[in-house]
Homo-oligomer: A and B are copies of this chain.
Amino acid sequence: MRFPPIVPGFSQLIHGGDYNPDQWMDMEVWKEDMRIAKAMGINSLSVGIFSWTALEPREGEYSFGWLDTILDMMAAQGMKAMLATPSGARPAWLSQKYPEVLRVSEDGLRNQHGGRHNHCLSSPVYREKVQKINTLLAERYKDHPALGAWHISNEYGGECFCPLCQERFRQWLQRKYDSLDALNHAWWTAFWSHTYTDWSQIEAPSRRGETSVHGQKLDWKRFTTEQFIDFYRAETEPLKRITPNVPCTTNLMGTYPGIDYFALAKALDFASWDNYPQWTGYTKDDVPLAAETAFKHDLMRGVKQRPFFLMESCPSATNWRPYARLHRPGVHILQSLQAVGHGADSVQYFQFRKSRGSSEKLHGAVVDHVGHEHTRVNEEIARLGSMLQGLSGVVGQDTPAKAALLYDWQNAWALNDAQGLNNVDKKYFDTVMDHYRALWSQGVQLDILSEDADLAGYDLVVAPMLYMVREGLGQRLRAFVEAGGTLMSTFGSGYVDENDLCYLGGFPGPLRATLGIWCEEIDVLLPGESNEILYHGQRYRLFDYAEQLHLEGAVSLAEYRKDFYAGKPALTVNALGKGRAYFLAGRLEDGFMRAFYQDLLAEAGIERFELPYGCSLALRGEGEEEYAFLLNFAAEACKVNLSGVDALSGERLEAVELEGHGVRVLKRLKRG
């Protein structure tokens, strides 16, 4: 399946990035910027991000001239603008005149002016000012040929504890629970005498007040997500009205824990995100990181289940990482085509021209302080630009996945906030990655879904550490298995419902019948400690957790070999209807994960590939329009036994040889 291009009518892969001409109010600089952009194969710039003071230097006094000029210059080169709303940071005059727009911290103290996301999402005056400037932008540029998409604000994040937000929290709770009795039950407030007898008694969780009522903290996080959605709706209202055909997005941040992106994404026209992996250049460090980055791309594709934009990335050293290390040769192209392979229809940077001052002046950019493009970094950017031009056929191509992995913000919130299990690190993300990595390393295409997703069309659903099983999910997973699907489940599942209340009657609660097991208790292994299982005659180490199972219909495929539960089941499968449901009772080393999934994939009839260590395969499109991205994240060269046609050179290849950090895009991939 092929989606229409995100920017209507613009069927190239976008290449560009954040551009801040208002830091350089100088036509000579701007002309040079346009020249270099062209030399780099850049066809888009994101402008107006953090430009509020440049656009409105005093309340009600506007200055759009510089932006007119820039957009005109861009249009003249056929470039498309991601035009930003400036709400990510307020002018000083605004904070000064309306101090109530500033956030209040968890400590209850009002912030001073400064920083980026430092505005109260409830503030009526802030919303009014944002809508005003957004209206002016939309009206002024609604017919401008450079206008490609709206870039809403920037990296939404944080939270506010001001009285207005607290009041909205109470209102939100009232709508959700209707009665205090329902809230008191859901939050289990009888514990420690926390029962509320009036709505007005409720406050946000705070280190100065309540820190241990999990239900309250969970709802506060949901409320904060709702605040962002509500604010997004308010600030896009004039844009939707005035420029109904221009798509809107806000740049997300992968697995940023503060917002449930599945919920927020419903409001977006398309997803986009900012990706800053810290590559080391070593095989051993970068391969797990490559899998993690692939997962995040899949997740960002997953929140809308369609292609997305890579809105920011860095062609050189990311200045805020602990070690602002240079990308090794090839790495910039590698990371860029990884994004495209996993569903990005753009490669964009922060930022086009390096700032001269302030906190990101040492962040890798397209135009460095030296001011020209005769650098190692520019050589690679230009090469990438030309590759992207050759890959326009990729635009809009869907990812052909028969396997899905459940990753869920609300589950992460509940699990990570739980007191119990391994309190030092619950290992939710690690466990997710154990499973993801096993599939990614075998070239399996995966969709990442929330717990609420429709599972139709998938042959395999992997659901690691499904601590929270919300209303309906138990039934849907059961139906999925009965209809012939394969479910892969793990320890730490089926503990609580959507309110973080424990399931009574035996874990894993709503999954018990589907999995055919009862989990009596769970052992936590100490750091450095391991148990062991045998699989196909091979010993594998088991870490971190050891759930204690009773078989209730399932059969055991492997048993613990040590400790007081030696001989008890550690890996089970339950046949149910036409499908099968697996359960893995602890974290297993990579060798097992790979071996086990190889069997599982064969059984489930899902395509896999034999790839060298560190090499991954991402597919987009189908048939003649299938693109296969072969990406080598190892520092060493490798050879892949796949044949096809090089999508850029048209050369037919019987096998693919990749340099360390090398990439090749194939078409007409020959299977088995």
Give the B-binding residues of A (Cβ under 8 A).
20, 22-23, 50-54, 57-58, 86, 88-93, 95-96, 105, 107-109, 111-116, 118, 186-198, 200-201, 203, 205-206, 208-215, 280-281, 316-317, 319-326, 328-329, 354-363, 368-371, 375-377, 418-424, 499-507, 518, 520-526, 548, 563-564
Contact = CB atoms under 8 A, between A and B. Distances in A.
A530 to B, nearest CB: 14
A114 B210 contact: yes
A376 B550 CA distance: 12
A51 B195 CA distance: 10
22 contacts: A51-B193, A52-B193, A53-B189, A53-B197, A54-B195, A88-B193, A93-B198, A93-B201, A105-B208, A113-B210, A186-B357, A191-B358, A191-B359, A212-B358, A213-B358, A214-B358, A321-B423, A323-B525, A356-B502, A356-B504, A361-B419, A368-B521
Nearest to A53: B195
Contacts of A88: 192-193
A358 B323 contact: no
A193 B111 contact: no
A666 B120 CA distance: 69
Contacts of A51: 193
B108 A424 contact: no
Nearest to A422: B323
A219 to B, nearest CB: 12
| 10 pairs of A and B residues whose beta carbons are closest in the complex | A188-B357, A112-B209, A114-B210, A362-B420, A114-B209, A212-B359, A191-B358, A92-B201, A319-B420, A53-B195
A114 to B, nearest CB: 3
A349 to B, nearest CB: 16
Contacts of A22: 190
A563 B96 CA distance: 52
Given A112-B108, A377-B521, A523-B326, A358 B192 contact: yes
Contacts of A328: 564
Contacts of A369: 502-507
A192 B419 contact: no
A185 to B, nearest CB: 8
Contact of A280 (B193, B419, B506, B526): B526
Contacts of A421: 324, 362
A195 B92 contact: yes
